[in-house]
Structure 1
Amino acid sequence: MVEREFRVACLDEARRHARFLFAASVILNALFLLSDWRFAGTAHFVVAVSARFVVVALSLFCLVAVQIATTPIRMDIVYVIWLWGVSIAIAVLVSSHSDLALFVVMLLPTVFYLAVPIPFAWLLAGGVGSSALLLYGYLDLSGGWQLAVGLGLAVAMLNIMLALVAARTNRAERRFWSVVRAERDANEKLRASEDILENTFQAVPIPLVVASLKDGHHIKSNEAARRFYGGALGLPAAVSLCDTCLGEADSEALRARLRRDGMATDFETSVTVANGDMRQVVLAAAVTPSVASPNVVAALVDVTDRRVAEQQARYAASHDALTGLPNRAAFHDALEVALARRHPGQGICVLLVDLDGLKDVNDTLGHDAGDAALVETAHRLDALLDHPAILARLGGDEFVAAIEGPDPIGLGRRLSQAILTELRRPILHAGRHFATRASVGIAACPDHDCSYGELMKDADLALHAAKQQGRNRAAIYAPAMRQLLLEKAALNRAMFTALVEDEIVPYYQPKVSLITGRLAGVEALVRWRRSPHSVLTPSAFEAALTDPELAVLIGERMVRRVASDVRGWIELGYDCGRVAINLAPAQFTHRDLAPTLLRQFHAAGVEPSNFDVEITETVFLGRSSDHVAPVLDELHRAGVRVALDDFGTGYAGLIHLKQLPIDTIKIDQSFVKDIERDAFDTAIVCAVIELGRKLGMRVVAEGLETAGQARFLRENGCELAQGFLFFRPMAAQAMTDLLRAERADTAAARLALFQII
């Protein structure tokens, strides 16, 4: 394989050599042809001239043949044809025994061995064959065998020596070719490696610079570095690249690290580029050995945009996008620092500000108006606060401020009044004026608590108290607020346990017709049966009913139990009339209240027309009739009647009787109690009865305790009543017994009721 590669590699050289050899053969033999004219007139002349012509013709033929020989084997064949042809022709010539004949016998094999570049085996065969032919043509046995033997030995010795020389030459040529080829391959690999290294160096998108460690002069750089640095890389040799780009302090710091450690990573600095801009970069550099002096290879990453993005991200993470104020996380960190550095005699007051009615602004004027209100509130609060106050938006409509001073409570009280006054001023948006209000909760350190979490809880409790007191005011935290919160939390936990243990049960209070004396319906009242001998009324757990989640769970439990009881009474054939179920205001926070109730009626197998729902006027607190009406309309369309409980004691107006599908008005017991001796109560009750009659609504009087109250109500047209005068609220089993007795002796029961009245 190696020999073949050698022959292929030497093909062009062999062709050039052959052309020279064959051309020389043509020229020399043509000259010899002229010298052969000395044999003119002799018998040998014709032989000599013919042989010369053959050699010249054969050499010309081979000279042409080598031009079209495209492979080493074809070249070898041309050489062999020439060698044997010339050998035969010259063997004929030397038969003349001229003076030059013996010289030719010895010279021609030498030419073949030294000048014909064919494989050694072919060359040896050709050299020996040529010597044999020449010796045969030259020898004349008539001269004695001793000369022939001597000449033969001389020719044999010549062939041996020439074969050794040819073998050594062949080996030397191949060894030289191998060395040259290895060197050429090594150089090619080196050039390829250098090209790859250079291309990689130039293609790296990160700026790379090679500079002198001693003086910082620029040596080499890639395309990215030239684009980044610009003209800064074309500095005069006397100017230091490090000092120019990094600055004296950073440049010296970098050199010191490189001399000490041999490398530097994560070296952050500022770099000045050609146009004078300052760029933030992270630089990595390493010292590389050099013959003259050590060099530094440095790579840098431009982090200017990243640092800007990080700053923007940090700002976005710590500030509110709408108002630009710090957010909850930033306020937490700032207040923690302020609490930690608080000096003796100094206090910190936290004011939690909540906008009242922002939802109404969003619903009526749009969220753009709500956003404008938030932005304007932020500007006004910021204008009221002096440094080092902290102001933040916690989210939604909540803002918080923290101020430091020697009298934090007094400072907070004065600032809260300024906030309330400032936020009452109308806001102009899109050509319309609207106003917002605010409630403020105040807590202070060290008066209350001095940890962030507890201080914020105190302020939140104070804010809740301000809202409970009617909103648009400020409240200062008091320990009793936390106690109420703890009690409410304990009550809520107890109520969740009561739901799990099935302690929430309905009690039923019948409604009596003051006209017929018959049972006219039932109101289901929620009770908490804590033990067989302890049943609590809603007044004991009223706070739990204000919790939306608990209110929904208790309401669902009551509906399931009541629907089940009604189903049982119907199956027994008892007529209980319509059963009223009370809906807590917190249940109206769920838009699917009506579908849920109807699904529960359907699941129990009872018709919606067997039920009333009773609502108090407190359902309108914090919401409009537009929010309540869809729920009641859906129930009313399904056959459920709607009763307005405690009419006249709440916050609603007569407009709700027009806007809502009200079927029944219930007169609160506070008006019934003194109906016989209080002219004001008498007038109110009579007015409500008359109002109900004119509007086609039924009127139910609650809390009847005396026969005189019953007679007055009947005489003034009130149809229905309920109270201790007739029945106290009773458990489901007692109600079942009452219904059984009602069906068994209706006339006797009616007579007993009339006797009471």
Structure 2
Amino acid sequence: MTHWLLSTREQVSAPIAAQLANGLFGSLPIFIGGVINSVAVAAVAAGRMHTAPFIGWLVFEALLGLVRIGVVQSSHSATPERLERLRHLASLLSVAWATSVGVGALLCLTSGDWVLATIACLSTAAMVCGICLRNFGTPRLAAVMTFAALAPCALGGLMTQEPSLRIISVQLPIFMVTIFSASFGLHRMLVSWMTTTAELERSKALNETILQSNPDLTLILDADHRIVFSNRQPEELVCQSVLTGRDFCSVLEEKDRPAAAAALARAQRGELTSFTTCFTRPTGEKLWFDTVVNETSDASGRFIVVARDITRQKHSEERAIWMAHHDTLTGLPNRAVLQDRLDAALMQADGRILAVDGDAPGHALLIVDVDNFKIINDTLGHDGGDVLLRALAARLRAAVGHGDLVARTGGDEFALIVAARDDEALHRIAARIYEELREPILHGDRVMECGASIGASFIPLDGPGRSEVMKAADIALYAAKAAGRAQMKIFEPAMMDEVERHQAMITAARFALKRKTILPHYQPKVCLTGEGRIVGFEALLRWRDRDGHVRGPDAIQAAFNDPILSVAISDYMLEMILNDIEGWVADGVAFGHVAVNVTSGDFRPGGIVETVLDRLKARNLPASCLQIEVTEDVFLDKGALDVERALKRLSHHGLRIALDDFGTGYASLSHLTQFPVDLLKIDRSFIGQIGAKGDAEAISSIVINLGHCLGLEVIAEGVETVQQQEHLITMGCDTGQGYLYARAMPAADVSGHVREHEAARALIHMRQA
């Protein structure tokens, strides 16, 4: 029953329903007034009538009032579960109280005391009003209480002796219906108001949560641009004072205020506008905000300002810009910055020329390349190389003046733009650089020596544009390396000719290789200790130029220093030589063997030395038909161990190894025992001076004797006269090679030359016989 009394037909949420039911414990003045009034009326009635019913009514009202006050008092500190029970108890007590009021009024109406009846009726009407005012949150309870209070009054009107009082019995039902209608109407209004208020509260709470959770700073400005709301506290921002009440522009730094004022003006015209502002914390840290300003749509003239923190994005952009213009390892500017500075220096130089300002400072470009950087990387690892590059960058910065540029252009190469008008100024700068580099660099427990070659060019003397100036410095650097490294060379026009000649050689070699116009020629080697028979040939490179002329290797000498091109040429030559040998073997030509020249590059992985045995086997050719000729510098290369293993493998399979140009290099005698050398070739520079210089004869004799002592065959190359041949025979030289016997010939002429040589030998033998 109490659930029904406290419920309503309106669909409301549980919190609102509880709030409505809690009206039982509210409106304390009305509640206390009703309790006191009912007790007072009962007391008056008991005092006037002195009968048991009236005295009982007084006692009941007093006790009921005390209980009801106790229940209301308990509700203030009750738990939710106990409060629910107190609501039901309070509703029952309220109905009991209203019934008591109604019964008391009935007693007063039927007592015959019209003063008492008037007091009771007026009191009951007042208490009904209190019931409606206090309990319209629970209209069913209010209706029951009203009925309980007024129904006995209507019954009392019918029971009185006075006919005029019976009109109460007619009026009271009408009054009750009116009261019921008003109670339920007020209830609906209350529920609607409470529901709307709750929705507004939820919406407000949601908006506040969104604003507080939003990482963006949100401000609301009034029409005068003063801040009336902020979702951030001052300590969260860069400002130290309260934002609310301050003029928006006054919060910003001076430099950003014009942009803010313009944005507010555009927003007032209905435009959505934005600007970027920066705050500086007391610590010096900068915070960047992308700020959007928009006017509200409620015609209040207010503005919404949303500022998004883009500090991290700004830092990322600045970092990206920095990385786009700097080297990450050394922190130096990169090639892009170098090019911009070169362009600026060239424009500045053009301005000086137009102004004929001879006193203005000139500039020069220096390109610095670390000597032997690959060796450092190979021995100490890339960590050691990085340490070296960072140290070199710091020392280059220390060596140049303020305003000069030091940039890293890639790998182990740096570029400097310095103020210098002449060679003397450049040499002073170079001296400072080499002085800085003289100090060793420590890497762990290792000490690294840092050497560098420098090429320099003047701006704009050595070129009207950036590429020409850089090319001139590159050419000077190439000249510095060619001259022995660890020095500076200043560009001279003659250097350009050398570079162009070098490039022309490379281009010619590539053209000949592509067109397959490289072809081997063969120069015979003749035995000096026997009857002059041909014991073999040396394969010499020849190539046809664009005009069809046959040219020697000197015309493409630069190609043999190119690690890729030289291997490609050697591979092509070997293939052509093996084709020729295969043909001679098939034709029964007694060619003996063919000596093939190889370089240090041919010993690298993938070089021809690794494939010689496989190629001979594929063609079913004996190893004795081929000889390998190496020069002394092969033994001195950093890959000497690989060379030793390769030569021993070839020697083990029957190939003979010849040491070419012996006596002109830096090989020691220990190399003759360390490496599997079978033949020594005396350089033509000694043979050509036999008969003219005693030193040449002495050296040749020593080499021949040394070779024989070591069990080696000795070959003299460059034999051009009979006198030279006679001297060599006297010295005991084994084999001769040179123009005296024949020039290098194409493969097609070899078989004919062998037949002619054998026929000439036979004729000489017959004459001698």
TM over 0.5: yes
Partner of 1:672 in structure 2? Answer: 687
Name the CA distance, whole Å, in 1 between partners of 2:737 and 2:633: 22
Cα distance, 1:551 vs. partner?
0.6
- Pairwise mapping of residues 35-74 of structure 1 onto structure 2 (< 5 A)? 70=85
Is the CA contact 1:706–1:725 (under 8 Å) kept in the aligned structure 2? yes
Map Cα deviations across residues 529-581 of structure 1 (whole Å, 9 max, x no partner): 55897543312322222222211211222234444555676788877655422
Give runs of aligned pairs for residues 94-493 of structure 1, distance below 5 A.
114=129, 115=131, 155-176=169-190, 178-179=192-193, 182-183=196-197, 186=200, 190=204, 193=207, 197=211, 199=212, 225=235, 233=241, 251=254, 254-262=256-264, 265-267=275-277, 273=282, 282=288, 332-342=339-349, 343-344=352-353, 346=358, 350=365, 396=412, 402-405=418-421, 411-412=422-423, 415-416=426-427, 427=438, 429=440, 441=455, 443-444=457-458, 447-468=461-482, 477-493=491-507
SS at match of 2:558: helix
What SS is found at the alignment partner of 1:262? helix
**Equivalent position SS for 2:570:** helix
Matched-pair contact (CA < 8 Å) for 1:286–1:298: yes
**Residues of 2 paired with 1:478 and 1:462: CA distance?**
8
Q: How does 1:571-720 map to 2 (within 5 A)?
A: 577-584=592-599, 587=602, 595=610, 611-617=626-632, 619=634, 624-639=636-651, 640-650=655-665, 652=667, 654=669, 656-657=671-672, 660-673=675-688, 675=690, 679-705=694-720, 709-710=724-725, 712-720=727-735
Distance 1:700 1:381, change over 3 A: farther
How many Å apart are 1:692 and its aligned residue?
0.8
Alpha-carbon distance in structure 1 between the residues aligned to 2:64 and 2:256? 77
In 2, distance between residues paired with 1:130 and 1:305? Answer: 75
2:10 counterpart (2, 5, 27): 2
2:572 maps to amino acid: R
Change (3 A) 1:289 1:110: same
Q: Secondary structure at the match of 1:696?
A: coil
Residue 350 of structure 1 contacts residue 455 of structure 1 at CA under 8 Å; is this kept in 2? yes
State the distance in 1 between where 2:580 and 2:665 align: 31
Quick check: 1:701–1:722 contact (8 Å CA) kept in 2? yes
Aligned in 2, Cα 1:157/1:752: closer, same or farther, shift over 3 Å? Answer: farther
For 1:614, what is the secondary structure of its paired residue?
strand
CA 1:428–1:373 in 2, change beyond 3 Å: closer, same or farther?
farther
Deviations 1:445-474 (A, max 9, x none): 565423232123223323434554566776
635-644 or 277-286, which deviates more: 277-286
The 1:378/1:301 distance shift into structure 2, 3 A limit, reads closer
Matching of residue 525 in structure 1 with residue 540 in structure 2: yes
| Larger CA deviation: 560-569 vs 423-432 | 423-432
Report deviation, 1:162: 2.7
Q: Does the CA-based 8 Å contact 2:457-2:473 persist in structure 1?
A: yes
What's the offset of the Cα at 1:614?
1.5
Gap change, CA 1:157 and 1:121, over 3 Å in 2? farther
Tell me if structure 1 keeps the 8 A contact 2:508–2:545.
no
Contact 1:593 1:631 in 2 (8 A): no
Q: Which moved more, 1:48-57 or 1:437-446?
A: 48-57
For residues 553 and 747 of structure 2, what CA distance do their matches in structure 1 show? 17
Residue-pair matches, total? 712
TM-superposed CA distance for 1:378, in Å, is 8.8
Q: Does 1:507 pair with 2:509? A: no
- One-letter amino acid matched to 1:160: I
Give how far 1:719 is off. 2.0
CA 1:381/1:606 → structure 2, altered by over 3 Å: closer, same or farther?
Answer: farther
Asked if the contact 2:452–2:486 (Cα under 8 Å) also holds between the matched residues in 1, the reply is yes
Distance 1:4 1:675 in 2: 127
Per-residue deviation, 1:163: 0.8
2: CA distance, partners of 1:138 / 1:438: 127
**Structure 1 unmatched runs, 5+:** 39-44, 406-410
Q: What TM-score, normalized by structure 2, do the two folds share? A: 0.67
Give the C-alpha shift of residue 500 in structure 1.
3.1
State the distance in 2 between where 1:423 and 1:98 align: 132
Match of residue 11, structure 1, among 10, 21, 24: 21
C-alpha distance in structure 2 between counterparts of 1:413 and 1:752, whole Å: 73
Residue identity opposite 1:262 in structure 2: L
**Once the 2 structures are TM-superposed, how far is the Cα of residue 164 of structure 1 from its aligned partner?**
1.5
The answer as to whether partners of 2:365 and 2:416 remain within 8 angstroms in 1 is yes
Rounded Cα–Cα distance in structure 2 between residues aligned with 1:451 and 1:532: 35
Q: Is the 8 A contact 1:350 1:403 kept in 2?
A: no
Alpha carbons of structure 1 residues 14 and 477: separation in structure 2 relative to 1, 3 Å: closer
Deviation at 1:424, TM superposition (A): 9.7
Structure 1 310/600 Cα, relative in aligned 2: closer, same or farther at 3 Å?
A: farther
Instruction: Give the Å deviation of 1:699.
Output: 1.0
Deviations 1:63-83 (A, max 9, x none): 699888739788767766777
Task: Indicate conservation of the 8 Å contact 1:87/1:133, yes or no.
Answer: yes
- The amino acid of 2:595's aligned partner reads A
Q: Secondary structure at the match of 1:646?
A: strand
CA–CA separation in structure 2 for the residues paired with 1:697 and 1:417: 55
Structure 2 unaligned residues grouped into runs of 5+ = 1-8, 73-81, 266-273
**Cα distance between partner residues in 1 of 2:117 and 2:437:** 137
In structure 2, what residue type is equivalent to 1:689?
Answer: I
**2-side partners of 1:171 and 1:97: how far apart?**
38
| Distance (whole Å) between structure 1 residues aligned to residue 659 and residue 753 of structure 2 | 27
Q: What letter matches 1:628 in structure 2?
A: A
Q: Please, which moves more after superposition, 132-141 or 703-712?
A: 132-141
Following superposition, the deviation at residue 637 of structure 1 comes to 3.2
2:559 is aligned with 1:547? no
CA deviation digits over 1:642-681, x for unaligned, max 9? 3221223445555654554433211233433454565444
In structure 2, C-alpha distance between the alignment counterparts of 1:378 and 1:84, rounded to whole Å: 103
Q: Give me the whole-angstrom Cα distance separating, in 1, the residues matched to 2:477 and 2:389.
A: 20
**Match in the other structure for 2:268:** none
Q: 1:162 corresponds to which letter in structure 2? A: M
* Alpha-carbon distance in 2 for matches of 1:326, 1:730: 57
Secondary structure of the residue aligned to 1:506 is: strand
State whether residues 158 and 166 of structure 2, in contact with CA within 8 Å, keep that contact through their aligned partners in structure 1.
no
**Equivalence for 1:41:** none
Distance, in Å, in 2 between the alignment partners of 1:320 and 1:11 is 73
